[in-house]
């Protein structure tokens, strides 16, 4: 879980203490183990990726473009229902900027381009990409004919979605 800070935008939040307690269980689900871990620049993803890479004794890199949907001007929502309603609007009006500074369609396109760059830069067999729920849901949902809002709601912090490259087809979910 993140450590929400009402004074900072969500892309600057750190991980909460104990957020990575489930990392050994996550690692046990990874078959094969990745040869490299790549993350977004955001502190939550970078810390998770670093811990994962250290546990696996593999390199860790950050890549631009893997970040969450742009939310610089989104206020802090003390009530989870408020945020969920705004995210619902974001998914429902995917071509429009209705929440933050980036539409769902633009966020998915940017994220997909970043994934292409990751896989071109790291062509080895298995790459772990540590990223964020909204953009990950947009990418996986489109590639698998799933509902992005449903996928987003079902995810947890250390959720693993294994996809085939370059199709994006979901091969395993844990």
Span 51-92, pLDDT tens digits: 999 999 999 999 999 999 999 999 999 998 999 999 999 999
- pLDDT at site 67: 98
CA dist 10 and 61 (Å) reads 21
- Predicted TM-score (pTM) of the model is 0.95
**Domain residue ranges in the chain:** 2-173
Given a cut of 90, is residue 45 above it in pLDDT?
Answer: yes
Is domain 2-173 given the CATH code 3.40.50.11540 in the classification?
A: no
* Nearest Cα to Cα of residue 160 among 147, 148, 172: 172
pLDDT bracket for residue 1 (50, 70, 90): confident
Query: Are β-strands 2-3 and 14-15 bridged in parallel, bridged antiparallel, or unpaired?
Result: antiparallel
Span 103-159, pLDDT tens digits: 999 999 999 999 999 999 998 789 999 999 999 999 999 999 999 999 999 998 899
Average pLDDT over the chain reads: 95
């Amino acid at each position: 879980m993140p450590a929400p800070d009402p004074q900072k935008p969500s892309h600057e939040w750190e991980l909460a203490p104990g957020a990575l307690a489930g990392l050994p269980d996550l690692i046990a689900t990874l078959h094969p183990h990745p040869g490299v871990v790549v993350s977004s620049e955001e502190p939550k993803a970078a810390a998770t990726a670093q811990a994962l890479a250290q546990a696996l004794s593999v390199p860790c890199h950050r890549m631009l473009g893997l970040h969450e949907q742009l939310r610089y001007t989104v206020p802090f929502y003390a009530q989870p229902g408020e945020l969920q309603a705004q995210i619902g609007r974001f998914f429902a009006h995917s071509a429009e900027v209705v929440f933050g500074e980036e539409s769902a369609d633009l966020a998915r396109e940017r994220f997909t381009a970043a994934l292409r760059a990751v896989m071109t830069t790291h062509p080895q067999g298995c790459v772990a990409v540590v990223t964020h729920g909204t953009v990950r849901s947009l990418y996986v949902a489109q590639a698998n004919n799933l509902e992005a809002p449903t996928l987003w709601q079902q995810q947890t912090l250390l959720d693993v979605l294994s996809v085939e490259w370059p199709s994006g087809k979901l091969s395993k979910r844990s």
